[in-house]
Chain A
């Protein structure tokens, strides 16, 4: 009698999963690394790993739909003569004209203004559409200084010096030639159709001591009116926050690795920087150690999706959050209604990330006129405003449940973690325990 092993189920490798195999084949075929937009796509510890405790015997909740829960935030109270007074603690992150269409930038301005919050320029200068439609506009001051001039600086409501971003701390950028229209080329003072490199280092200062002098120059230029933000990609948040305060920042913007980019190497997006969840508490700790918590405001970003994320970020000590990817989705990015066109690009709604190629069916990450026209800035702006309103209502709901009459009264004691990793990173107890892994050591 012959013995036959019963057949096993074909087994694919966890290590060499379907995506990894496809990437190896793509690399072998092309000889070039993968470039894409967006933020990290793999799972990293995040706000879903936290829950809020709500009121109980020892806490007194506020009445939903009745009792007030404040949402306003003032940014830039340290030195600026004219701090930003926003209605909600959710701002729109910096995204460039060039990577986004003019209609998309206008829509972001419209949506933010309707919601009483700010939007932010990007690595391509300020467009009249964006300035015109943005009640509060933060002007990004980037290493490339594309489109940068003192007239626009003075038109801004705040200035954000970009040291880095969460998708690529330590990296510059590249706007590929196919997105360089006549208008983009003119604003950036480069020939049409060539790749435009965005430098990773500022051209006229190196280190925090120089930065302090640079900040003072910008203050002098704008007669000390504008709040000066410093944006850093989350990597060494404690020390970066310390140095930012020392350099004289009014506001620190801390961007976790889930934060998006217009175009960067996949390897950079997925492997450099730390998740936002792990970055907030060290930054807050630095502010507290310096006696500057709430005096220098902290805006956090990178994967913020809903009011729960907002409430949890604020409970960890942030003053406000910023959204980028989520705002684009609200405008219409990756909408299933363009499914056939996404399929033609070899992708699917929800996965489209070749923003650098300028072929966005939704008309957002493109400079192609026929595609750009698909996005109506008025309608898209309204959608963004709706979304911001929902996020705010959600955050208020959770805050009231915790007995807080202002979102800023949320505190770490309102949070527990569902995983060991999240407990250690967020420095809150594992649910049902008093254990904060790593605390005290």
Chain B
């Protein structure tokens, strides 16, 4: 079980080491100590390994992650898991802006709150935030699912495409072309699955969530919709 101490090892050496791992590596459990808020920790990993990070991380931790499970035992700076392709990123604390931005796959779980633009331009990622999210979250969200246990800030789902949004608490306001939608059985099934993946199966009542999605009125330019934005 390799342990890399970022107080003694440079970020460059850490990431270079992780990038060299082959898919069939036997070194599947890694620990990173003393992250001290450093940026770009474990970006671009492409191997089925688990990385435990023992503390807070800076910007873009786990950026573009493929396959790896990255557990952050602290809070994460801007753009955690940005553009991740697959795998898991689990933030035990809070996350700053643009968590999971443009994410294409995999799961991002945030135990605390996420700041503004959570899931911005998401393209297939599943994001579960157990606290609140900030304004403009899921802006231009194309695909994937965003689940929020707490409250959502202003302009949720602005210019939304096909991403699904579930929020349990109050929503400050909805963005352009985002509307509340009926929660049907298939959505309850989807939500239960997501809660299960986030370790919350049977702990949370899905009936407390409300569903939001695109009204699809802005999908093709129409001058009569100009007042919407």
Binding site for B on A (CB under 8 A): 30-32, 144-145, 148-150, 153, 174, 176-177, 189-191, 193-195, 197, 199, 203-205, 210, 213-214, 216-217, 220-224
- Given contact pairs A145-B102, A191-B162, A194-B219, a sample of 12 additional A-B residue pairs in the complex whose CB atoms are under 8 Å apart: A31-B223, A32-B221, A145-B123, A189-B142, A193-B220, A204-B120, A210-B59, A216-B40, A221-B15, A221-B44, A221-B64, A223-B16
Sample (10) of A-B pairs whose CB atoms are under 8 Å apart: A149-B83, A149-B104, A150-B66, A176-B221, A195-B219, A203-B101, A205-B79, A220-B15, A220-B43, A221-B64
Partner of B102, one of A174, A176, A195, A204: A204
Is B117 among interface residues, defined by CB-CB distance under 8 A? yes
Q: Contact check, B64 vs A216: say whether CB atoms are below 8 A apart.
A: no
A223 surroundings in chain B (CB, below 8 A): 15-16, 19
Q: Contact check, B39 vs A150: say whether CB atoms are below 8 A apart.
A: no
Min Cβ gap B90→A in Å is 19
B15 surroundings in chain A (CB, below 8 A): 220-221, 223
Kindly name the residue among A190, A204, A222 whose own CB sees the greatest number of chain B CB atoms within 10 A. A204
A205 surroundings in chain B (CB, below 8 A): 78-79, 98
Provide the main secondary structure of the chain A interface: loop
- How long is the Cα–Cα vector from A88 to B221 in the complex, in angstroms? 42
A177 surroundings in chain B (CB, below 8 A): 219-220
Q: Contact check, B221 vs A195: say whether CB atoms are below 8 A apart.
A: yes
Q: Which residue of A lies closest to B14 (CB)?
A: A220
Is B85 among interface residues, defined by CB-CB distance under 8 A? yes
Binding site for A on B (CB under 8 A): 11-12, 15-16, 19, 39-40, 43-44, 46, 58-60, 63-64, 66, 78-79, 82-83, 85, 97-98, 101-102, 104, 117, 120-121, 123-124, 139-140, 142-143, 159, 161-162, 219-221, 223
A193 surroundings in chain B (CB, below 8 A): 220
Partner of B140, one of A150, A195, A197: A197
Q: Contact check, B220 vs A189: say whether CB atoms are below 8 A apart.
A: no
A153 surroundings in chain B (CB, below 8 A): 64
In the A-B complex, the 4 residue pairs with the smallest Cβ-Cβ separation, listed nearest first, are A221-B44, A204-B79, A194-B219, A204-B98
Q: Contact check, B40 vs A149: say whether CB atoms are below 8 A apart.
A: no
Q: Contact check, B221 vs A189: say whether CB atoms are below 8 A apart.
A: no
Provide the main secondary structure of the chain B interface: loop
Q: Which residue of B lies closest to A148 (CB)?
A: B83
Q: Are A217 and B39 also in contact (CB < 8 A) when A189-B104, A205-B78, A210-B59 are?
A: yes
Kindly name the residue among A31, A145, A203, A217 whose own CB sees the greatest number of chain B CB atoms within 10 A. A203
Q: Contact check, A217 vs B12: say whether CB atoms are below 8 A apart.
A: no
Q: Are A148 and B40 also in contact (CB < 8 A) when A199-B140, A205-B78, A224-B12 are?
A: no
B12 surroundings in chain A (CB, below 8 A): 220, 224
Q: Contact check, B220 vs A217: say whether CB atoms are below 8 A apart.
A: no
- How long is the Cα–Cα vector from A30 to B220 in the complex, in angstroms? 16
Q: Contact check, B83 vs A217: say whether CB atoms are below 8 A apart.
A: no
B159 surroundings in chain A (CB, below 8 A): 197
Kindly name the residue among A144, A190, A216, A220 whose own CB sees the greatest number of chain B CB atoms within 10 A. A220
Q: Which residue of B lies closest to A212 (CB)?
A: B39
Q: Contact check, B219 vs A149: say whether CB atoms are below 8 A apart.
A: no
- How long is the Cα–Cα vector from A194 to B98 in the complex, in angstroms? 25
Q: Are A203 and B121 also in contact (CB < 8 A) when A197-B159, A213-B60 are?
A: yes
B223 surroundings in chain A (CB, below 8 A): 30-32
- How long is the Cα–Cα vector from A152 to B161 in the complex, in angstroms? 25
Q: Are A150 and B102 also in contact (CB < 8 A) when A32-B223, A213-B58, A217-B59 are?
A: no
Q: Which residue of B lies closest to A30 (CB)?
A: B223
A189 surroundings in chain B (CB, below 8 A): 104, 123-124, 142-143
Q: Contact check, B43 vs A217: say whether CB atoms are below 8 A apart.
A: yes
Q: Contact check, B83 vs A145: say whether CB atoms are below 8 A apart.
A: yes
